[in-house]
Amino acid sequence: MANFLKIFYTLPYYVPTSQKNQYIQFLIFADIAKREGVNFEMISFQNSPGRFLTEKVVFDAMYNTNDSIFPITILNGEIVKLSSLPTLKEFSEWFESLHQMTIQELIEKQKDVEVPELLSETEIPDSCSASACSSCQASCGFRHSELEDLDFVEDLPFLNEI
């Protein structure tokens, strides 16, 4: 079995404001890894919902829980971290354990990658379409009028109840 590192996360707009830069950094790393054939992936529910069901350890972790367990970091088929992104130190150790590229090489290559942009708070409502949303239904919390006055998504503990 090949060594791999995967980070499963929910929708990009659920990323807490305080962690956006870290997510962007890991998305850049994942882009480089993909181009270089390194077994590291960032997997979002929005882009690959089926992967959350077919990856047994993720599916098992999700069973009878809510999305507060995300992000989920998996190293070689085992969960190594739940509910937060790895620290850069943890990521470096786990990435280096793949024996495919050093973290220093990864960092050096990031200058060649276009920086991805996550949705801003003002873009979230505009990105939702009740008829074609890939991640929610017409009763989506972002379309719910009670949510208009909230600062951001970290204030939405009741989202699943709507």
Claim: this prediction has a pTM higher than 0.85: no
CATH code at position 108: 3.40.30.10
Do 45 and 97 share a domain, yes or no? yes
Domain span holding position 66: 5-112
Span 3-26, pLDDT tens digits? 999 999 987 666 777 788 888 999
Tell me the C-alpha distance between 11 and 43, whole Å: 10
Residue 96 CA to residue 77 CA, distance in Å, equals 16
Instruction: Based on the fold, state whether residues 29 and 100 are members of the same structural domain.
Output: yes
What pLDDT, on a 0 to 100 scale, did the predictor assign at position 92? 95
Residues 45 and 107 in one domain: yes
Structure confidence at residue 122 (pLDDT): 65
> Is there a domain that residue 118 lies in?
no
Question: Are 106 and 82 contained in the same domain?
Answer: yes
What is the pLDDT, as a whole number, of residue 10?
A: 84
Confidence category of residue 135, pLDDT binned at 50, 70, 90: very low
Closest CA to 144 of 160, 75, 132, 114: 160
Residue 144 predicted with pLDDT over 50: no
Over residues 21-53, the pLDDT tens digits come to 888 999 999 999 999 999 999 999 888 989 998
Among 59-68, 129-138, 141-150, name the one with the lowest average pLDDT: 141-150
User: Average pLDDT of the chain?
Assistant: 78
Helix, strand, or coil here: 125? helix
Q: Give every CB contact of residue 17 below 8 A, 6+ residues apart in sequence.
A: 152, 154
Out of 77, 92, 112, pick the residue that ends a domain: 112
Count: domains in the chain: 2
Clarify whether residues 108 and 67 are in a common domain: yes
154 plus 90 within the same structural domain: no
pLDDT at residue 136 above 70? Answer: no
pLDDT score for 152: 39
**One domain, residues 73 and 148:** no
Residue-level pLDDT at 128: 56
Q: Which of 42-56, 123-137, 143-157 has the lowest mean pLDDT?
A: 143-157
Place 154 in a pLDDT band, splitting at 50, 70 and 90. very low
Give yes or no: residues 10 and 61 share one domain.
yes
